[in-house]
Structure 1
Amino acid sequence: MHPLNVLFVAGFGPITQSHEKSQSLYVNTLNLPLRAMEGNETYLSSEKGEIGGVNHFALWPLAQAAQSCFGSEDWPSNITAPQSWIEFEVEDITVASEQMISKGYYLLVNNRVEPWGQSVTRFLSPEGILIGLTVTPWLHPEKID
C-alpha cells in the first residue's frame, strides 16, 4: 500500500458553539484578521498569510461542521462533538482515505469534492478533533492549469 503523504497543515481552528463569545475572543480581544465568508456570516476566517504559520484559520460553527459531515445541522448524540478542526493537505486523497480505512478509522466523509472544489475526507481523532485530509487546488497555484 502507498504511504500517506501529508504536505502541510492546510487549516485549523476551533469549532464554535457560541458565535458571539468566540467572535469576542478571537476578533475583538485577540484582534485576529477574521471576516465572514460571502454568504456565511458565522464562518469567520483568515486568508493565507494573514496569520503566520497557518494557511487558513477559521471559527467553524458546530452546526456547519455537522452539515458538512452528516448533511444535517445537528451533530449526532452518539458521536463525540469536536472542539476543534484541523486539515492536513495530502498528496493523494484516494490513497489517504484508503490508509485511514485500513487503519480502522471510521470516516465521516470519504473523498468528497465540496462545492468550492476542495476534496476532503473527515474523521475524528482519539482526542475528538475533527480531522480533514484534503486536496485544495488553490493552495497549489503551480498545479492549476
Structure 2
Amino acid sequence: MEILFVASVSVIAPDPVESRRLYVDALGLPLERLEGEYFASEHIGGSKHFGVWPLTEAAQACFGTPAWPADRPVPQASIEFELADPAAVADGAAELEAAGHRLLHGARTEPWGQTVARLQSPEGLVVGLSFAPWLH
C-alpha cells in the first residue's frame, strides 16, 4: 500500500457546539458547515482537510446508526490516509484485513464522491484509507 499524504484530520465531537466554540470562536479556524453538523476547512495551511465531526455522524458513517457501539472505545479523532484511486482503497482494506485488522467497514464510495474504508486503531482513533478526487 502506498500512502500519498494525510488527507484529513478531524476531531470527533460528542458536543459539536462546544468543540466549534474552541476551533472557530477561540482559535479562529475558518471552518464552514459542510453537511449536517459537520464543520470543516480545506483552507488551513499544512492541512488538506480539518474538521469537527459530530460523534453521531461518525457513528452513522461507520455503523449506519447515530449511536456509537458500547463495545467500542469512543473515538476522539479520525485521520485519513490518501491513496491513488478507489481500487487502491479496496486493495489497502484487503491488505489490512489480511494482516488481522478488523475494519469498521470496507471500501465504499460515499455520496460526496470519496471512496473510504475505515478501522479503529488500538488507541481508539478512526483510521481511514481514502481516495478523495478533489484532492488530486
Does the alignment reach a TM-score above 0.5? yes
Instruction: Please tell me the TM-score bracket, short chain as reference.
Output: over 0.9
2:41 corresponds to 1:46: yes
State the match for 2:83 in structure 1: 90
State the match for 2:127 in structure 1: 131
**Which of these residues, 21, 24, 27, is aligned with residue 27 of structure 1?**
24
Segments of 5+ residues of structure 2 without an aligned counterpart are none
Percent pairwise identity: 44
**Which of these residues, 14, 20, 37, is aligned with residue 17 of structure 1?**
14
Tell me how far 1:132 sits from its aligned partner: 0.6
State the match for 1:74 in structure 2: 67
Equivalent residue of 1:69, what SS?
helix
Paired residues, what number?
133
1:44-69 deviations in Å (ceiling 9; x for gaps): 1002xx11111010000000000001
Equivalent residue of 1:64, what SS?
helix
Tell me how far 1:99 sits from its aligned partner: 1.0
Tell me how far 1:119 sits from its aligned partner: 0.6
Equivalent residue of 1:6, what SS?
coil
Equivalent residue of 1:53, what SS?
coil
- The list of structure 1 runs, each at least 4 consecutive aligned residues, that deviate by more than 4 angstroms after superposition, is none
- Tell me the distance in 2 between the aligned counterparts of 1:126 and 1:52: 29
Relative to the length of structure 2, the TM-score reads 0.94
Equivalent residue of 1:81, what SS?
coil
2:18 corresponds to 1:8: no
Equivalent residue of 1:22, what SS?
helix
- Tell me the distance in 2 between the aligned counterparts of 1:122 and 1:133: 6
Larger C-alpha radius of gyration, 1 or 2? 1
1:8-44 deviations in Å (ceiling 9; x for gaps): 000002100111210110000000000111x42x211
- Tell me the distance in 2 between the aligned counterparts of 1:116 and 1:43: 13
